[in-house]
């Protein structure tokens, strides 16, 4: 066998091995990103689940408050409207990389949270409500749900951070960009959350 042919075969073999190695690496990276993306979607499902739990508590809470107290109509109207807005703003796992859709979802949820806080603060003015067992149970469930929301949002943020970091690192970002993996959004603090509320006696 001629020396030139042997060298050509060795070069071709090296090139084939290199191509197989690069393809294998790319496939592993792609599968890794798919796994991370599914983790983000699963975590998002949990966030939606606890938000839905809160939305499901609202009608019972409003009905209890209306039934026991001669309540400020504008307060429970605000809660009902905020809940309706939450029902209209849905976001799928595919939209988690859309800042505007994510912001709209968060604003709707923050609006409901704010309206519920006002409802509970105003309810403190009614001693018969504070003695109502149904109201107390709903209030406890709502507090538990708010804690769950905080926990699930924190888990979601951690999963998104791992995903976003992975798709931005070199050389994996080449596969991520080529395959359409895009940065996911984080929850942001509500506007004004950095300022402590003023308490006056």
Q: Residue 96: pLDDT above 50?
A: yes
Query: pLDDT tens, 164-198?
Result: 999 999 999 999 999 999 999 998 876 654 444 44
pTM to 2 decimal places: 0.81
Instruction: Say if CB 173 and CB 167 are below 8 A apart.
Output: yes
In a domain, 90, yes or no: yes
Residues of the domain holding 42: 3-179
In a domain, 200, yes or no: no
Query: pLDDT tens, 103-131?
Result: 999 999 999 998 888 888 877 777 777 77
Number of domains in the chain: 1
In a domain, 100, yes or no: yes
In a domain, 192, yes or no: no
Cα distances from 110 to residues 95, 172, 192, in angstroms, run 19, 36, 12
User: Measured between alpha carbons, how far is 78 from 112 in angstroms, rounded to an integer?
Assistant: 8
For the chain, give the percent of residues with pLDDT over 90.
49
What integer is the mean pLDDT of 76-101?
A: 86
Predicted local confidence at residue 10, as pLDDT: 92
Instruction: Say if CB 167 and CB 183 are below 8 A apart.
Output: yes
In a domain, 199, yes or no: no
In a domain, 194, yes or no: no
In a domain, 187, yes or no: no
Residue among 156, 178, 152 at smallest CA distance from 33: 178
CATH number, domain of 67, equals 1.20.1440.20
In a domain, 97, yes or no: yes
Instruction: Say if CB 105 and CB 89 are below 8 A apart.
Output: yes
* Band of residue 49 on the pLDDT scale cut at 50, 70, 90: very high
Instruction: Say if CB 170 and CB 29 are below 8 A apart.
Output: no
Predicted local confidence at residue 194, as pLDDT: 46
């Amino acid at each position: 066998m001629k020396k030139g042919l042997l060298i050509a075969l060795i070069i071709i073999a090296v090139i084939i091995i290199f191509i197989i190695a690069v393809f294998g690496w790319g496939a592993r990276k792609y599968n890794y990103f798919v796994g991370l993306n599914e983790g983000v979607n699963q975590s998002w499902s949990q966030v939606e689940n606890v938000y839905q739990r809160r939305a499901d508590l609202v009608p019972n809470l409003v009905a209890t408050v209306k039934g026991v107290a001669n309540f400020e109509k504008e307060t429970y109207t605000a809660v009902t409207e905020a809940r309706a807005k939450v029902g209209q703003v849905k976001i799928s796992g595919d939209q988690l990389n859309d800042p505007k859709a994510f912001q709209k979802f968060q604003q709707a949820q923050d609006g409901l949270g704010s309206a519920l806080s006002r409802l509970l603060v105003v309810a403190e003015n009614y001693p018969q409500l504070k003695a109502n067992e149904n109201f107390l149970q709903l209030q406890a469930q709502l507090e538990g749900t708010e804690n769950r929301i905080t926990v699930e949002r924190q888990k979601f943020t951690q999963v998104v951070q791992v995903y976003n970091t992975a798709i931005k690192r070199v050389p994996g970002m080449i596969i991520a960009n080529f395959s359409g993996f895009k940065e996911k959004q984080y929850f942001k603090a509500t506007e004004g959350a950095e300022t402590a509320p003023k308490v006056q006696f």
